[in-house]
Structure 1
Amino acid sequence: MAGKDGHILIVDDDEDILVAGKLLLKRHYGTVVTCNKPEHIEELMSGQSFDAILLDMNFGPGESSGAQGFFWLARILEIDPQAVVVMITAHGGVGVAVDAMKKGATDFIAKPWQNEKLVATLSASVKLRRSRSEAEELKKTNRTLARAASPSNQPILGESAAMQDVMSMVERSAPTDANVLILGENGTGKELIARELHRKSLRADKVFMSVDLGAVTESLFESELFGHKKGAFTDARDDRIGRLQAAHGGTLFLDEVGNLPLHLQAKLLTVLEQRRVMPVGSDKSIPIDVRVISATNVPLAKLRDEETFRQDLLFRLNTVEITLPPLRVRADDVPELADYYIGLYARKYGKPSKSLSSDALTALKSYGWPGNVRALRHAVERAVILSEGDMFEAADFQLDAQPNQAGDVATVKTETFDPGTTSVADLNLERIERATIEQALKKHRYNISHAAKDLGLTRAALYRRMEKHGL
Structure 2
Amino acid sequence: MHRILIIDDEKNVLSSFKKILDQEGYNIQTSGNAQEGLDLTQSHPFDLLIMDIRMPGMSGLEAFSKFKEIDPKLPIIIMTAHGTTEAAIEAMQLGAFDYVIKPFEVPAMKQLIEKALEAGRLMKTVVEYEPKEDFGGDRIIGSSSRMQEIYKIIGQTAATDVTVLLRGESGTGKELFARAVYYHSKRKDKPFFVINSAAIPETLLESELFGYEKGAFTDARERRVGKLEQCHDGTLFLDEVGDMPLSIQTKLLRVIEDKSFERLGSNKTLKVDIRLITATNKNLESLIKEGKFREDLFYRLNVVSIPIPPLRERKEDIPRLVEYFLTKYGREFNKKGVSLSESALAVLQRYDWPGNVRELENTIKKALIFSKSAAILPEGIFIPEHIREGKKQSSVYLQELLPDLVKNGLRRENGNLYKEIIEEVERALLIETLKQVNGNQSEAAKILGISRPTLKDKIDKFGLRKVVLLQES
Alpha-carbon distance between aligned partners in 1 of 2:218 and 2:61, rounded to the nearest angstrom: 33
TM-score (norm 1): 0.56
Alpha-carbon distance between aligned partners in 1 of 2:191 and 2:348, rounded to the nearest angstrom: 37
Structure 1 239/131 Cα, relative in aligned 2: closer, same or farther at 3 Å? closer
Judge conservation of contact 1:180–1:322 (CA < 8 Å) in 2. yes
Structure 1 partner of 2:239: 255
Q: Where do residues 310-459 of structure 1 align in structure 2 (5 Å cutoff)?
A: 310-400=294-384, 401=386, 407=396
Structure 1 partner of 2:122: 149
| Candidates 161, 186, 193, aligned match of 1:177 | 161
Judge conservation of contact 2:187–2:234 (CA < 8 Å) in 1. yes
SS across alignment from 2:376: coil
Matched, 1:290 2:274: yes
Alpha-carbon distance between aligned partners in 1 of 2:189 and 2:251, rounded to the nearest angstrom: 29
Could you say what the CA RMSD is over the residues aligned between the two structures, in angstroms? 2.7
- Give how far 1:343 is off: 1.4
Alpha-carbon distance between aligned partners in 1 of 2:170 and 2:59, rounded to the nearest angstrom: 51
Alpha-carbon distance between aligned partners in 1 of 2:70 and 2:280, rounded to the nearest angstrom: 34
SS across alignment from 2:265: coil
Alpha-carbon distance between aligned partners in 2 of 1:335 and 1:407, rounded to the nearest angstrom: 24
Alpha-carbon distance between aligned partners in 1 of 2:58 and 2:217, rounded to the nearest angstrom: 35
Structure 2 partner of 1:211: 195
Structure 1 279/395 Cα, relative in aligned 2: closer, same or farther at 3 Å? same
Alpha-carbon distance between aligned partners in 2 of 1:260 and 1:133, rounded to the nearest angstrom: 38
Q: Which amino acid aligns with 2:152?
A: S
- Give how far 1:304 is off: 4.7
Q: Where do residues 295-314 of structure 1 align in structure 2 (5 Å cutoff)?
A: 295-305=279-289, 307-314=291-298
- Give how far 1:277 is off: 2.1
Instruction: Name the stretch that deviates more: 311-320 or 262-271.
Output: 262-271
Alpha-carbon distance between aligned partners in 1 of 2:120 and 2:160, rounded to the nearest angstrom: 20
- Give how far 1:132 is off: 5.1
SS across alignment from 2:138: coil
**Runs of 5+ unmatched residues, structure 1:** 1-48, 50-125, 410-471
Paired positions, count: 285
- Give how far 1:129 is off: 10
- Give how far 1:408 is off: 9.4
- Give how far 1:130 is off: 9.0
Structure 2 partner of 1:229: 213
SS across alignment from 1:144: coil
Alpha-carbon distance between aligned partners in 1 of 2:229 and 2:299, rounded to the nearest angstrom: 22
**Deviation per residue, 1:361-406 (Å, 9 max, x gap):** 11111210000000001100110011223311122111113679x9
Matched, 1:137 2:52: no
Alpha-carbon distance between aligned partners in 2 of 1:390 and 1:131, rounded to the nearest angstrom: 55
Deviating 4+ runs (over 6 angstroms): 126-131
**Deviation per residue, 1:113-140 (Å, 9 max, x gap):** xxxxxxxxxxxxx989996554333454
Structure 1 partner of 2:150: 166
Q: Which amino acid aligns with 1:257?
A: V
- Give how far 1:273 is off: 1.9
Alpha-carbon distance between aligned partners in 2 of 1:189 and 1:154, rounded to the nearest angstrom: 11
**Deviation per residue, 1:217-237 (Å, 9 max, x gap):** 112122110001122222222
**Runs of 5+ unmatched residues, structure 2:** 1-34, 36-55, 76-118, 128-136, 399-473
SS across alignment from 1:149: helix
Judge conservation of contact 1:211–1:255 (CA < 8 Å) in 2. yes
Structure 1 222/147 Cα, relative in aligned 2: closer, same or farther at 3 Å? closer
* % identical equivalent positions: 40
**Deviation per residue, 1:79-131 (Å, 9 max, x gap):** xxxxxxxxxxxxxxxxxxxxxxxxxxxxxxxxxxxxxxxxxxxxxxx989996
Alpha-carbon distance between aligned partners in 1 of 2:284 and 2:205, rounded to the nearest angstrom: 24
Structure 2 partner of 1:64: none
- Give how far 1:141 is off: 4.8
SS across alignment from 2:74: helix
SS across alignment from 1:210: strand
SS across alignment from 1:220: helix
Alpha-carbon distance between aligned partners in 2 of 1:224 and 1:254, rounded to the nearest angstrom: 12
Structure 1 232/129 Cα, relative in aligned 2: closer, same or farther at 3 Å? closer
Larger radius of gyration: 1
Alpha-carbon distance between aligned partners in 2 of 1:149 and 1:140, rounded to the nearest angstrom: 18
Structure 2 partner of 1:67: none
- Give how far 1:263 is off: 2.7
Alpha-carbon distance between aligned partners in 1 of 2:61 and 2:190, rounded to the nearest angstrom: 22
Matched, 1:267 2:251: yes
- Give how far 1:272 is off: 2.1
**Deviation per residue, 1:246-284 (Å, 9 max, x gap):** 111011100000111223222221222221121112221
Instruction: Name the stretch that deviates more: 318-327 or 275-284.
Output: 275-284
Alpha-carbon distance between aligned partners in 1 of 2:397 and 2:352, rounded to the nearest angstrom: 8
Judge conservation of contact 1:179–1:316 (CA < 8 Å) in 2. yes
Judge conservation of contact 2:122–2:179 (CA < 8 Å) in 1. no
Q: Which amino acid aligns with 1:370?
A: P
Alpha-carbon distance between aligned partners in 1 of 2:60 and 2:246, rounded to the nearest angstrom: 48
**Deviation per residue, 1:343-371 (Å, 9 max, x gap):** 11111111243121111111111210000
Q: Which amino acid aligns with 1:339?
A: E
Structure 2 partner of 1:202: 186
